[in-house]
Chains A and B, each alone.
Chain A
């Protein structure tokens, strides 16, 4: 399966702390995307990093990409209770628009 792996599977931290989630994939990619899913809802696109980029920021989000290790990380700084959700990485490939999702990390921010 092309599906990527994420760790940790679940993460519980206190509000205000930083949360880091990691994603690994198996084949060469065109881009790596991160999505958030609140329970029972659709996905919200957070950030996209291209294969020729190493780091990208968006507000409290920081994404890194290491193509040599086939891995990416998502850092959420100064976490808030509203950040509680599942986070998925998704790999995009050259020649196709389809995405292959990682297994996801369930993040719980405790007030």
Chain B
């Protein structure tokens, strides 16, 4: 079946540093990927839509200069949290739909837990 991976699975960093998270579709190509953030015991909040070969589309309230997204290939999207602060500590999850249809199943990565000290 389709698999989406994320790397790293967890990261601890100092305040002020930047952290890059990778999301890969392993056995299918994804022109679109989605990035979500999930705080403890809360739901997933969509942050942005990553589009291969073009700029990402950010949801209202998400700072595009803070959360840089690059979708350089059909199997890889990266999310860089720049100048991370403790409030950015969260669980970041990506997803990729297999296909371009509205009802295509989305496959979720296992998530990356970011802790900013």
Chain B residues near A40 (CB-CB < 8 A):
91, 111, 113
> Nearest residue in A to B59 (C-beta to C-beta)?
A98
Considering the chains assembled together, what is the distance between the CA atoms of A43 and B100 in angstroms? 20
> Nearest residue in B to A10 (C-beta to C-beta)?
B41
Interface size on A, residues (CB 8 A): 28
Partner of A103 from B36, B43, B97 at Cβ < 8 Å: B43
Query: Does chain B have a CB within 8 A of A3?
Result: yes
**Cβ contact within 8 Å between B102 and A103:** no
Given contacts A96-B102, A98-B49, are A42 and B43 in contact (CB under 8 A)? no
Q: How far is the CB of B87 from chain A (nearest CB, A)?
A: 19
Interface residues of B in 64-117 (CB under 8 A from A): 91, 93, 95, 97, 100-111, 113
Considering the chains assembled together, what is the distance between the CA atoms of A22 and B72 in angstroms? 39
Considering the chains assembled together, what is the distance between the CA atoms of A95 and B57 in angstroms? 14
Given contacts A42-B93, A42-B110, A43-B108, are A100 and B46 in contact (CB under 8 A)? yes
**Cβ contact within 8 Å between B103 and A30:** yes
Q: How far is the CB of A40 from chain B (nearest CB, A)?
A: 7
Interface size on B, residues (CB 8 A): 29
Interface residues of A in 90-111 (CB under 8 A from B): 92-104, 106
Considering the chains assembled together, what is the distance between the CA atoms of A38 and B108 in angstroms? 13
**Cβ contact within 8 Å between A42 and B111:** yes
Q: How far is the CB of A45 from chain B (nearest CB, A)?
A: 5
**Cβ contact within 8 Å between B110 and A103:** no
**Cβ contact within 8 Å between B43 and A97:** no
> Nearest residue in B to A49 (C-beta to C-beta)?
B103
> Nearest residue in A to B97 (C-beta to C-beta)?
A97
Q: Which residues of B contact A (CB under 8 A)?
A: 4, 6, 32, 34, 36, 41-46, 49, 91, 93, 95, 97, 100-111, 113
Q: Which residues of A contact B (CB under 8 A)?
A: 3, 30-31, 33, 35, 40-45, 48, 50, 88, 92-104, 106
